[in-house]
């Protein structure tokens, strides 16, 4: 539409009068509009920047004679009127231009409000269903959905974090779901953007974590033609999602309700593909309002309650093991443990849900665990599992009877050695039922035994707080100093590798919550997961703990932390080596190969972004550096020259 004679124009100063020479064109913003601004012998011209054929940016084209040439396919436009020389009515809108005191002004009609589309309705339904957090990257095949997100962010309904790599978006959303039990959204463009979400989607799926993945897609008419960035996304990402659908013109925004309900009640991944053309459709008229879904809470049956209570009553040394599925029921489980005087260990993914200074706590059980937990399992005569499987890393012995309380229906089909009772039930509901059914017990000898074991282990840890044979700081020293500075209510995001194993063994959580990749064990998890934790708990200190191998995979998300000012403290153990892989090669009897690393100054990277950053190499520097990191008001990074070994 020609706006040159319109009396309702809004004028925008787009630059100085000498910004362009004759026969030049550029792109400027005039309010909501992208404008191809040009200067020719005929004067200044301003037309819409988008070519109507393939969407080419006209402001990046060339002036030839009296025509503006589209940079993508050579179509010609009058740079002042937007008209074309041919018989086709392919003109683009033009705008008014004026020179005022050596400044160029462009006059446009500004839209009064965000245009309501099917995407507006979809985002509104997501918000109504309880979704408030989105991690992702805006691009050409998700622009309609992104604009609806922008409008929701503007109104305060959505918090959006723009990441540097789509894999980080999926990890951040997975961490958010693990910590809160509620799904966040990760979103990306078609093709490689969508496939970059895959690992994080699997991380959520394996951990029974709710997550919503929303991906753009090429236009519907081009599907099946091997068009640019075409990937059959339902087929490609479907294995990582229990619910996967491509949105079509016949669908309504009820799909938002379906997505949220599936992810929340099934503790699984839901995936929606939105083709580019669907993103501009008008809103549906028959879409019902969305409601927030509630997760399932299965109750322990009377029969299972009686069986388990009888086994606990007859046990002399019961050991409870709390897994990821029992973390949000840790209060109820500890009330039961105190009632019957049972020792309590956790799996590594559940570390932190039980204060490890509690008289009945033993710490982590398994490869990343404490000698206290290992000794207690040996001493036990009954093991009760709350919300966990029997993975090799946890190392549940086959020589003790086991009770399993879990909501994972597939758990009955795997790892069921010596299971005396398998109960499909919510961990918290089961613990509450068992408190009512079990007889109170007092086991002073058990508490004395645990106290003795902890005393022995803490002395061994103290002896390991030294410099190793290579002159590097040990993990025992690092996590001792971390314990002195970290807030009790901090949230810790862990990577994988020797650093993580050592954290599980040496750090005694006394209120801190932990989030990790768990049984997928994906390297690089800590930094993007800390983004999810920061959005889940914006008022708490978030600590990302990683080795240099894992940190390097998503190191550029440090710029995301800086951009949004997230209160994340990075504790980085740097030894210039993939230490865990070196150890695996040594255990396997193969040659040590391809595990050395060349690192930048990670602390220097942090300071270049305006964050706190320092590197430490001695015990004295470690003490001061850790205190300074946590005393700093804002995000920061402590780079530690550390041993490659786990001690």
Domains and CATH numbers, the chain: 10-108 (2.102.10.10), 118-280 (3.40.50.970), 302-451 (3.40.50.1220), 464-641 (3.40.50.970)
The β-bridge relationship of strands 133-136 and 103-108 is unpaired
Q: Residue 91 — very low, low, confident or very high, per pLDDT cuts 50/70/90?
A: confident
What is the C-alpha separation between 543 and 554, in angstroms, rounded?
15
Stretch (H or E) spanning 442: none
> Which parts of 43-152 are beta strand (E)?
43-48, 62-64, 67-69, 76-77, 96-100, 103-108, 133-136
Residue 291's pLDDT is 57
> Which parts of 412-536 are beta strand (E)?
419-424, 491-494, 513-515
Q: What is the DSSP string of 325-360?
A: GGGGGHHHHHHHHHHHT-EEEE-GGGTTSS-TTSTT
Number of Cβ within a 10 Å radius of residue 223: 15
78 phi, psi to nearest 5 deg: -70, 120
What is the C-alpha separation between 480 and 432, in angstroms, rounded?
36
Residue 92's pLDDT is 92
Residue 296's pLDDT is 58
Alpha carbon distances (Å) from 65 to 79, 584, 629: 11, 69, 62
Q: Please say whether the beta carbons of 616 and 627 come within 8 A.
A: no
Check the CA dihedral 378-463-508-348 and report its sign: negative
The Cα diameter of the chain in Å comes to 98
Dig out the tokens for 392 from the structure.
């090799």
Q: pLDDT tens digits, residue range 159-171?
A: 999 999 999 999 9
Residue 3's pLDDT is 46
In the predicted model, is pLDDT for residue 115 greater than 90? Answer: no
Worst-scoring range by mean pLDDT, 134-143, 390-399, 479-488, 572-581? 390-399
In the predicted model, is pLDDT for residue 24 greater than 60? Answer: yes
User: Region 37-45: what's the mean pLDDT?
Assistant: 94
Alpha helices, DSSP H only, in 70-214?
118-128, 143-154, 166-180, 192-195, 198-206
> 166-180 vs 526-536: helix axis angle to the nearest 10?
50
Q: To which residue do tokens 């994080």 refer?
A: 200
Angle (nearest 5°) at CA 548 between 544 and 554: 65
Q: Please say whether the beta carbons of 40 and 23 come within 8 A.
A: yes
Residue 470's pLDDT is 79
In the predicted model, is pLDDT for residue 315 greater than 60? Answer: yes
What is the C-alpha separation between 448 and 437, in angstroms, rounded?
26
24 phi, psi to nearest 5 deg: -120, 155
- Find residue 321's DSSP bridge partners: 345, 385
Q: Residue 113 — very low, low, confident or very high, per pLDDT cuts 50/70/90?
A: low
User: Region 14-37: what's the mean pLDDT?
Assistant: 93
In the predicted model, is pLDDT for residue 2 greater than 50? Answer: no
Alpha carbon distances (Å) from 58 to 49, 62, 75, 109, 183: 5, 8, 10, 20, 41
What is the C-alpha separation between 446 and 450, in angstroms, rounded?
6
Residue 283's pLDDT is 87
- Residues contacting 195, CB < 8 A, separation 6+: 231, 236, 237
Summary mean pLDDT of the chain: 92
In which region does residue 127 sit, left (phi positive, over 0), alpha (psi from -120 to 50) or beta (all else)? alpha
User: Region 376-397: what's the mean pLDDT?
Assistant: 91
User: Region 210-218: what's the mean pLDDT?
Assistant: 97
User: Region 9-36: what's the mean pLDDT?
Assistant: 93
Residue 4's pLDDT is 46
Q: pLDDT tens digits, residue range 471-530?
A: 899 999 999 999 999 999 999 999 999 999 999 999 999 999 999 998 899 999 999 999
Q: pLDDT tens digits, residue range 275-300?
A: 999 999 998 876 555 555 555 568 89
In the predicted model, is pLDDT for residue 112 greater than 70? Answer: no
Q: Please say whether the beta carbons of 201 and 171 come within 8 A.
A: no
Q: Residue 248 — very low, low, confident or very high, per pLDDT cuts 50/70/90?
A: confident
Alpha carbon distances (Å) from 540 to 133, 545, 635: 17, 16, 12
In the predicted model, is pLDDT for residue 574 greater than 80? Answer: yes
pLDDT over 70, % of the chain: 94
Q: Residue 411 — very low, low, confident or very high, per pLDDT cuts 50/70/90?
A: low
Q: pLDDT tens digits, residue range 577-620?
A: 988 888 888 889 999 999 999 999 999 999 999 999 999 999 99
Residue 48's pLDDT is 94
Three-class DSSP labels, 185-239: EEEECCCHHHHCCHHHHHHHHHCCCCEEEEEEECCHHHCCCCCCCCCCHHHHHHH
**In angstroms, how far is the first alpha carbon of the chain from the final one?**
72
Dig out the tokens for 288 from the structure.
């019902």
Dig out the tokens for 427 from the structure.
């961990």
Residue 408's pLDDT is 75
User: Region 191-207: what's the mean pLDDT?
Assistant: 96
The β-bridge relationship of strands 67-69 and 62-64 is antiparallel
Q: Please say whether the beta carbons of 9 and 3 come within 8 A.
A: yes
What is the C-alpha separation between 24 and 153, in angstroms, rounded?
37
Residue 594's pLDDT is 94
Residue 32's pLDDT is 82
245 SS3 class: strand
Dig out the tokens for 558 from the structure.
């440090």
Three-class DSSP labels, 503-544: HHHHCCCCCCEEECCHHHCCCCCHHHHHHHHHHHCCCCCEEE
What is the C-alpha separation between 506 and 489, in angstroms, rounded?
18
**Surface-to-core class of residue 333, CB atoms within 10 Å of its CB (0-12 exposed, 13-18 middle, 19+ buried):** buried
Dig out the tokens for 332 from the structure.
């109820």
**Surface-to-core class of residue 285, CB atoms within 10 Å of its CB (0-12 exposed, 13-18 middle, 19+ buried):** exposed
- Find residue 216's DSSP bridge partners: 274
The pTM of the full predicted model, rounded to 2 decimals, is 0.88
């Amino acid at each position: 539409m020609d706006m040159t004679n319109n009396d309702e124009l809004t004028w925008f100063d787009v630059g100085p009068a000498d910004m362009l020479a004759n026969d030049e064109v550029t792109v400027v913003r005039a309010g909501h509009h992208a404008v191809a601004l040009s200067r020719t012998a005929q004067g200044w011209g301003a037309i819409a920047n988008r070519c109507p054929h393939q969407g080419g940016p006209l402001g990046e084209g060339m002036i030839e004679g009296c025509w503006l040439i589209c940079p993508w396919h050579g179509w010609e436009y009058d740079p002042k009127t937007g008209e074309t020389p041919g018989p086709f009515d392919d003109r683009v809108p033009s705008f008014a231009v004026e020179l005022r005191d050596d400044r160029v002004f462009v006059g446009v009609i500004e839209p009064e409000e965000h245009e309501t589309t099917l995407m507006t309705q979809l985002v509104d339904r997501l918000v109504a269903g309880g979704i408030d957090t989105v991690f992702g990257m805006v691009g050409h095949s998700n622009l309609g959905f992104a604009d609806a997100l922008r409008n929701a962010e503007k109104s305060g309904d959505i918090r959006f974090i723009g990441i540097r790599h789509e894999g980080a978006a999926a990890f951040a959303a997975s961490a958010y779901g693990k910590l809160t039990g509620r799904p966040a959204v990760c979103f990306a463009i078609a093709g490689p953007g969508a496939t970059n979400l895959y690992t994080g989607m699997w991380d959520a799926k394996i951990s029974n974590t709710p997550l919503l993945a929303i991906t753009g897609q090429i236009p519907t008419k081009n599907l099946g033609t091997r068009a640019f960035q075409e990937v059959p996304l339902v087929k490609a990402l479907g294995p990582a999602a229990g619910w996967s659908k491509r949105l079509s013109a016949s669908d309504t925004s009820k799909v938002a309700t379906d997505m949220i309900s599936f992810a929340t009640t099934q503790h699984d991944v839901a995936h929606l593909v939105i083709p580019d053309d669907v993103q501009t459709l008008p809103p549906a008229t028959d879409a019902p309002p969305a409601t927030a879904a509630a997760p399932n809470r299965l109750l322990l049956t009377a029969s299972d309650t009686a069986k388990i209570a009888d086994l606990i009553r007859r046990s002399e040394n019961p050991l409870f093991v709390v897994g990821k599925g029992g973390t949000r029921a840790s209060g109820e489980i500890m009330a039961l443990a105190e009632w019957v005087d049972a020792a309590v260990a956790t799996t590594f993914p559940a570390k932190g849900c039980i204060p490890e200074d509690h008289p009945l706590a033993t710490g982590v059980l398994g490869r990343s665990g404490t000698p206290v937990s290992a000794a207690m399992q040996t001493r036990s005569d009954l093991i009760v599992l709350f919300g966990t499987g029997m993975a090799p890393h946890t190392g549940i012995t086959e020589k003790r009877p086991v009770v399993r309380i879990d909501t994972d229906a597939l758990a009955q089909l795997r790892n069921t050695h010596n299971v005396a009772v398998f109960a499909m039930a919510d961990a918290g509901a089961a613990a509450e039922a068992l408190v009512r059914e079990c007889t109170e017990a007092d086991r002073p000898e058990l508490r004395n035994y645990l106290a003795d074991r902890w005393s022995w282990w803490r002395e061994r840890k103290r002896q390991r707080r030294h410099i190793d044979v290579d002159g590097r700081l040990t993990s025992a020293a690092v996590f001792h100093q971390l314990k002195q500075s970290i807030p009790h209510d901090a949230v810790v995001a862990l990577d994988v590798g020797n650093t993580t194993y050592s954290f599980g063994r040496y750090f005694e959580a006394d209120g801190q919550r932990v989030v990790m990749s768990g049984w997928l064990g994906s390297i690089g998890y800590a930094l993007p997961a800390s983004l999810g934790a920061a959005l889940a708990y914006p008022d708490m200190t978030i600590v990302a703990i990683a080795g240099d191998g894992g940190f390097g995979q998503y190191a550029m998300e440090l710029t995301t932390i800086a951009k949004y000012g997230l209160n994340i403290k990075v504790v980085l153990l740097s030894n210039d080596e993939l230490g865990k892989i070196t150890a695996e090669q040594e255990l396997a009897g193969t040659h040590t190969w391809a595990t050395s690393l060349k690192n930048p100054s990670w602390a220097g990277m942090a300071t270049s972004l305006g964050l706190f950053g320092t590197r430490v190499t001695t015990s004295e520097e470690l003490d001061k550096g850790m205190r300074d990191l946590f005393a700093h008001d804002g995000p920061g990074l402590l780079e530690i020259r550390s041993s490659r070994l786990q001690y």
